């Protein structure tokens, strides 16, 4: 039988493109022919991550297609500056359809793995008689909870009154202010893409997950058996980055030399460092940045904190110099080698916005987490961390932000939450639970493990696919 060819179409946000590039590497490692089709700037960002396929039978092919935006040069959501701009960005995504279809017609691959933000790929796949598989960038728990919330709108009298999400394996309590609110003209286009993507997902061949069975078994089953969707779990895909080089170059060049970072971490006792990061999209307001500085300074833990380049001017006077002089804090301005940091023994805690990749990378690193969700599906992921897996504590009463803004949490609250996850007893118990999951994650991706086997099933499924 000829080798199957899978074409990947990643969405151009880091939280989506990094795991999809990992996925392509994984597929190539199993002997499949793989092509990533993307815009030129995303191709540039991914080039390093996929170099590791050099020794494989089939290297990953990176093929660029034109993205016709009104703002030339703006090809990635992190470059978008306003909600209006975001609308135009999402509107422009459909301009990829024509060059994408031309490529599919010419190359006739066996399968399309396309991000949820390209709902039209389901139609493309059906036109060419091949399966379209969706990648959402999230886990099973999140999809199950958001499906239940959409079906059974909560009947509560205020935005802060808790309600139980019905028909789920666990008692999950949320409030309305923790749910995504895409109201108003500025979200019209985005909402349309979301609705189309949900419809396309239901009609597509299935969904591929960066997750592993042992992390959320009840939700894997719920998704397959109750929601009746075809699904494969093949993660955590970050675990396929094994060397220092592979762990460092993920999506963007790190703003710190990896050896300098490792030297700093090596000098700290096991489990003594808390890593603080809010991912690639969330914006920490200047006032919040100040409160985090004060909170971290009040704690006894060492810390590595990733901030946006230039934001250091909002920190308290002399803060950075004091932390450096005491050897307590390392501030990374720009992009951190996150997987390298989380995998280091000296890191015991993680203050995270609960982006799905960060949650998985935290689990794979065996750390306890402070769940501080801000936007997107992060509030659901936070519930998995705190209430289901019990590997983290909640930062407390924060609400979903339409501006992706992290704000409003006082220094004492931050100090208390960090102290809890870094403590010997409460934090130690959480770390013990995460480490059990860490072992299961590593086993899942090894030959015979649940993720390895599900990928085998996936490969068989696409080989035998009949429309
Ligand atoms: N990331 C990184 N360095 C940074 C910030 C983020 O390597 O300084 C990576 C992180 O490891 C993860 C991805 O970018 O793989 C962010 O995805 P996530 O789902 O956690 O959050 P998002 O950025 O989508 O909100």
Residue range 146-160, pLDDT digits in tens: 999 989 888 899 999
Residue 247 included in any domain: no
Residue 244 included in any domain: no
Same domain, 116 and 220: yes
pLDDT in the model for residue 275: 98
Residue 467 has pLDDT above 80, yes or no: no
Please tell me which residue in 22, 115, 147, 454 is annotated as part of the active site: 115
Residue 131 included in any domain: yes
Using the mean position of ligand 1's atoms as its centre, give its distance from the Cα of residue 165 in Å: 28
pLDDT digits (tens, 9 = 90+) for 321-337: 999 999 999 999 999 99
Residue 176 has pLDDT above 80, yes or no: yes
Confidence of residue 212 (pLDDT cuts 50, 70, 90): very high
Average pLDDT over residues 264-274: 98
Same domain, 424 and 457: no
Using the mean position of ligand 1's atoms as its centre, give its distance from the Cα of residue 16 in Å: 9
CA-based torsion, 257, 258, 263, 267: positive or negative: positive
- Mutating to test ligand 1, I would choose from 253, 254, 284, 338 the residue with most ligand atoms within 8 A of its C-beta, which is 338
Same domain, 207 and 143: yes
- Mutating to test ligand 1, I would choose from 279, 304, 344, 353 the residue with most ligand atoms within 8 A of its C-beta, which is 279
Same domain, 276 and 217: no
Using the mean position of ligand 1's atoms as its centre, give its distance from the Cα of residue 280 in Å: 5
CA distance 400 to 383: 14
pLDDT in the model for residue 76: 80
CB-based contact 109:130 (threshold 8 Å): yes
pLDDT digits (tens, 9 = 90+) for 373-415: 999 999 999 999 999 999 999 999 999 998 899 999 999 999 9
Domain enclosing residue 223, as ranges = 5-239+444-463
Return the H-helix or E-strand segment holding 276. Answer: strand 273-277
Residue 197 included in any domain: yes
Number of domains, the chain = 2
Residue 233 included in any domain: yes
Using the mean position of ligand 1's atoms as its centre, give its distance from the Cα of residue 279 in Å: 4
Same domain, 299 and 189: no
Q: Which of 42-56, 347-361, 372-386 is the least confident region? A: 42-56
Catalytic status, residue 387: no
- Mutating to test ligand 1, I would choose from 280, 343, 406 the residue with most ligand atoms within 8 A of its C-beta, which is 280
Residue 248 has pLDDT above 80, yes or no: yes
Domain CATH number, residue 40: 3.40.50.2000
Same domain, 268 and 176: no
Using the mean position of ligand 1's atoms as its centre, give its distance from the Cα of residue 336 in Å: 9
Residue 248 included in any domain: no
Ligand 1: which atom is nearest the Cα of residue 336? 8
Same domain, 349 and 456: no
pLDDT in the model for residue 153: 83
Residue 84 included in any domain: yes
pTM score, whole prediction: 0.97
Q: Which of 124-128, 177-181, 186-190, 358-362 is the least confident region? A: 186-190
Same domain, 53 and 198: yes
Residue % of the chain over a pLDDT of 70: 98
pLDDT in the model for residue 10: 97
Residue 12 has pLDDT above 90, yes or no: yes
Collapse the DSSP code of 230 into the 3-class scheme (helix H, G, I; strand E, B; otherwise coil) and give the result: coil
Same domain, 401 and 450: no
b/e sequence 297-322, b meaning 16+ C-beta within 10 Å: bebebbbbbbbeeeeeebbeeebbee
Average pLDDT over residues 226-238: 97
Closest C-alpha to ligand 1, atom 17: 15
pLDDT in the model for residue 54: 67
Same domain, 148 and 105: yes
SS (H, E, C) 292-313: HHHHHHHCCCEEEEEECCCHHH
Average pLDDT over residues 165-169: 95
Number of helical (H) and strand (E) elements in the chain, helices listed first: 18, 17
Residue 220 has pLDDT above 80, yes or no: yes
Same domain, 198 and 268: no
Residue 72 has pLDDT above 80, yes or no: no
Same domain, 153 and 64: yes
Catalytic status, residue 16: yes
pLDDT in the model for residue 2: 76
Please tell me which residue in 16, 222, 344, 353 is annotated as part of the active site: 16
pLDDT in the model for residue 185: 81
Residue 245 included in any domain: no
Query: Residues enclosing ligand 1, CB less than 6 A?
Result: 13-15, 18, 250-251, 277, 279-281, 306, 335-336, 338-339, 355-358, 361
Confidence of residue 69 (pLDDT cuts 50, 70, 90): confident
Using the mean position of ligand 1's atoms as its centre, give its distance from the Cα of residue 333 in Å: 14
């Amino acid at each position: 039988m000829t080798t199957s060819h899978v074409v990947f179409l990643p969405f151009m946000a880091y939280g989506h493109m990094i795991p999809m590039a990992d996925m392509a590497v994984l597929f190539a490692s199993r002997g499949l022919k793989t092509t990533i089709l993307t815009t030129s700037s995303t191709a540039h960002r991914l080039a390093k991550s996929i170099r590791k396929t050099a020794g494989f039978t089939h290297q990953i092919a990176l093929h660029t297609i034109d993205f016709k935006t009104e703002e030339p040069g703006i090809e990635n959501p992190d470059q978008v500056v306003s909600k209006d701009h975001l609308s135009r960005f999402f509107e422009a995504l459909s301009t990829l359809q024509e060059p994408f279809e031309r490529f599919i017609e010419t190359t006739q691959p066996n399968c399309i793995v396309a991000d949820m933000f390209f709902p039209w790929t389901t139609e493309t796949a059906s036109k060419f008689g091949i399966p379209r598989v969706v990648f959402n960038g999230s886990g099973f728990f999140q999809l199950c909870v958001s499906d239940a919330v959409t079906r059974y709108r909560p009947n509560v009298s205020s935005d802060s009154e808790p309600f139980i999400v019905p028909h789920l394996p666990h008692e999950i309590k949320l409030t309305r202010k923790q749910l995504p609110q895409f109201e108003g003209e500025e979200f019209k286009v985005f909402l349309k893409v979301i609705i189309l993507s949900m419809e396309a997902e239901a009609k597509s061949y299935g969904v591929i997950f960066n997750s592993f069975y042992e992390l959320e078994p009840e939700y894997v089953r719920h998704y397959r058996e109750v929601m009746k969707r075809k699904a494969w779990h093949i993660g955590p895909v970050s675990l396929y980055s094994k060397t220092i080089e592979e762990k460092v170059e993920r999506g963007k060049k790190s703003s710190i030399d990896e050896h300098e970072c490792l030297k700093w971490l090596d000098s700290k006792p096991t489990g003594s460092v808390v890593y603080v990061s809010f991912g690639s999209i969330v914006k920490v307001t200047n006032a919040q940045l100040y409160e985090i500085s004060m909170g971290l300074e009040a704690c006894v833990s060492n810390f590595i904190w990733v901030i946006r380049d230039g934001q250091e001017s909002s920190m308290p006077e002399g803060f950075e110099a004091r932390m450096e002089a005491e050897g307590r804090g390392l501030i990374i301005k720009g992009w951190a080698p996150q997987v390298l940091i989380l995998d280091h023994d000296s890191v015991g805690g993680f203050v995270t916005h609960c982006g799905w990749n960060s949650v998985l990378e935290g689990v794979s690193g065996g750390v306890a987490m402070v769940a501080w969700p801000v936007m997107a599906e992060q509030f659901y992921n936070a519930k998995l961390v705190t209430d289901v897996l019990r590997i983290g504590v909640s930062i407390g009463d924060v609400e979903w932000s339409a501006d992706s803004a992290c704000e409003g949490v006082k220094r004492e609250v931050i100090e208390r939450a960090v102290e809890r996850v870094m403590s010997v007893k409460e934090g130690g118990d959480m770390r013990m639970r995460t480490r059990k999951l860490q072992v299961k994650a590593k086993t899942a991706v090894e030959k015979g493990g649940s993720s390895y086997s599900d990928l085998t099933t996936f490969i068989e499924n696409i080989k035998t696919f009949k429309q």
